[in-house]
Amino acid sequence: MVMITANIATIKSRKYTLQGVVDSLKDQVDTVRVYGNDYLPEVEGAEVYTGKDYTDNSKFFWLPDSQGIYLSCDDDIIYPPDYVEKIKWYLKKYPKTWITFHGRRLKGMGLNYYTEHETYQCTRTVKGDWDIDVCGTGVSAFHTDTIKFDMKKWEYFRMSDLMASLELAKKGIRIICAEHKIFWLNHAESHRNQSIHEGESKNCINQNHVANQIYDLKYGRTLPSSTKS
DSSP secondary structure letter of residue 108: -
Give the domain ranges of the chain: 4-219
Distance CA 215, CA 125 (A): 25
Per residue in 69-95, pLDDT (tens digit) is 999 999 999 999 999 999 999 999 999
Asked if 50 and 28 count as a contact pair (C-beta separation under 8 A), the reply is no
Confidence of residue 160 (pLDDT cuts 50, 70, 90): very high
Strand arrangement of the beta sheet that strand 139-143 belongs to: 47-51, 31-37, 4-10, 69-73, 139-143, 98-100, 175-177, 130-132
Question: Model pTM?
Answer: 0.93
3-state secondary structure of 181: coil
Distance CA 105, CA 143 (A): 22
- The C-alpha torsion from 213 through 218 and 224 to 226, rounded to 10°, is -120
Distance CA 45, CA 40 (A): 15
Give residue 202's pLDDT.
55
3-state secondary structure of 215: helix
Per residue in 28-79, pLDDT (tens digit) is 999 999 999 989 999 999 999 999 999 999 999 999 999 999 999 999 999 9
- 175 bridge partner residues: 98, 132
DSSP secondary structure letter of residue 43: -
- The chain-wide mean pLDDT, for the chain, equals 93
Superfamily of domain 4-219, CATH level 4:
Spore Coat Polysaccharide Biosynthesis Protein SpsA; Chain A (3.90.550.10)
Give residue 201's pLDDT.
43
H helices within 57-184, ranges in order? 83-93, 160-171
